Structure 1
Amino acid sequence: MTAPRYAYLGPSGTFTEAALRAMVDPAEIEATPVIDVPAALSAVRGGDADFAVVAIENTVEGGVTATLDTLAEGSPLAILGEVVLAVSFELVARPGTALEDITAVAAHSHGLNQCRRWLAQRLPGAAQIPASSNAAAARELATGDAPFDAALAPPGVGVSLGLEVLASGVADNPHAATRFVKVGRPAAVPSATGADKTTLVVHLPDDRAGALLSMLEQFAARGVNLSRIESRPRSDRPGEYSFSIDALGHIDEPRMAEALVGLKRTNPTVIFLGSYPAATGYPTPVAPGTSEQEFADARSWVQGLRAGRR
């Protein structure tokens, strides 16, 4: 058997590679670094990879728009699992560089945003240069001809490239974390674990007062809690928005299945991106009246009414 192929944001040393290693044994897969998130997901869609691991959300910037938008458009993909990693950076530079020598620092745009206050305090005059990834910025710096003097890199990457660490633990939020997801092509949904998450994209039927409330009521009426909801502009209808949603629960559970039925009845587009184990492992909260047994009892009662039992 050939090893499953995984695409991830490269080069080697990125936080995404660390997430990949947390999800699967690297000795049992073929890992392929790519230039960005759309390239990783396109590799899965095109059959060049079996799976991709991509960042979808972080505690500083919220949703990773490149991931949300690429998942929502094109041929169907499915989220199969997730992992959450703590994120902090090292400020690295070529040997002999001092903090006062730095005129420009490079990192992925999300990395720069997660360290904006630190950079403003420690390097107030330095230009901030976006890179394709934090590891890529460090590698470019190590070549000696980069248009910047320092980089924000994942811990250990700078030293492995012969760079000096000028500061460690660089982050505005010491509890910063990023959520990564494993993505593949659609297949039968794995069974519920009792601690699951379902990810959806929903387009509202029209732009009117109360349209969003009507959509949210499909969840609320069934006791389904949302852990994330973000609006994204629709490329096909400027000025209108779709909603990317994480709901706590699994499509096998009656409350989630009925919420999906309600969404499909009342909205023109509902994209199901998968039900999968939540990284927290916490049991899904069940509101009174929404357990599987209570749904089963209610259905049995209605069937009894149809049969003439009161």
Structure 2
Amino acid sequence: MPSLNSQWLQSLLDPFFMMKSAIYHYVRILILEIFEGNVPLSAAQWQKIRDSAFSFFWLQYSGEREKGKKIAPSKNTPSASAALIPQLLSQATGTVLEIGPGSGTCMQFLQGSQITQIYGAEPCIGLHRQLRSEASRYKMQDRYHVLNASANVGSLTHELIRKEEITSFEAGDTLFDTIICVRVLCSVPDPKETVSGLYGLLRPGGQMLICEHVSNPWRTSKGSIISRIFQGLYMLLGWAYFMGDCRLDQDTERILLGTADEDKGWGNIDLEVEEQWSLFPCLHGSLTKKR
């Protein structure tokens, strides 16, 4: 771990400012609901408030990142992932599934001619308008398709059938040459089930491209027990509730390596972890499915 410098301290404080902004939007929308007389609130209304608040937060947050450099990390970037994403996504080919594209910040790196179609599975409807706007901005509206779906196989295939992208789906069908997961697996309800399902949708020889923040490896020489403690502290303060169910303390690498089909498995694994000292260690690289 590096010495106690401004970069490390900033990594400990970044979540505080992110969470502060997310809570502001949550409280604002909650007050509007109360003033409009929508009380008592049902479970569905509470969830709608959470989704709307996170949409406003993420549009603001990603917009601030856009004002800075597009590739180099900035003060608004919670890890080294911004610098890693362009090269990582340049590996995408064929029919691509992007899980949780958010407001479309990765779209600029998916314009290569080696990509035929892209499906962006985004369950937060409040972000769909911005996604479509980004597709038009990069002249990708004919090959970027926004899906109102989560990372769950049932949700994905239902939406693909509804939009007539496929006519039917049976267990064992493979649909995608590349699956992209950028800062999203930390938020899915059941990551093991999700990864297993995505693995099943990947064609033989296809790649899963990964860029995810993970639990700090504090037991290793490059990890930080202080950063790990802060991860736990932010989780106790409600990070997941206000930040779209994001988990700071998830061991995503173990999940990725442990949920593939035992017979076929991954043919090639190329994963690394950057900034292991920080509160946002970044797991990045690719997993290739055996042919």
Q: Which one has a bigger Cα radius of gyration? A: 1
Determine which structure has the larger strand proportion and give its number: 1
- Give your verdict on TM over 0.5: no
- TM-score, normalised relative to structure 1: 0.25
Q: Which structure has more helix as a fraction of its residues?
A: 2
Under a length normalisation based on structure 2, what TM-score does the superposition of the two structures give?
0.26
